[in-house]
Amino acid sequence: MNEPNAYGNTPLHVACYNGQDVVVNELIECGANVNQVNEKGFAPLHFTAASRHGALCLELLVGNGADVNIK
């Protein structure tokens, strides 16, 4: 669930970047860490902010405890 790829990105990072809100919701329900950072220090919230399709993903992350002050 929280296993990173070669770049340190988890499935949640990738789903957030792609704006896949249904997948994001399912990953969170299965216990995905909403604050896990990748090798460059980016959390799923950062990927959501960088996405053109991330509005609902943003709501899901924040509603499930994502740290909005993460740097």
Residue 20 belongs to some domain of the structure: yes
pLDDT tens digits along 14-54:
999 999 999 999 999 999 999 999 999 999 999 999 988 88
Domain count, the chain: 1
Q: Give the domain extent around 59.
A: 11-63
In the predicted model, is pLDDT for residue 1 greater than 90? no
Q: Is residue 68 part of a domain?
A: no
Tell me if 2 sits within 8 A of 30, measured CB to CB: no
- CATH number of 27's domain: 1.25.40.20
In a domain, 31, yes or no: yes
The pTM assigned to this predicted structure is 0.92
List, in sequence order, the alpha helices (H) in 3-54: 11-17, 21-29, 44-50
Residue 24, domain member (yes or no): yes
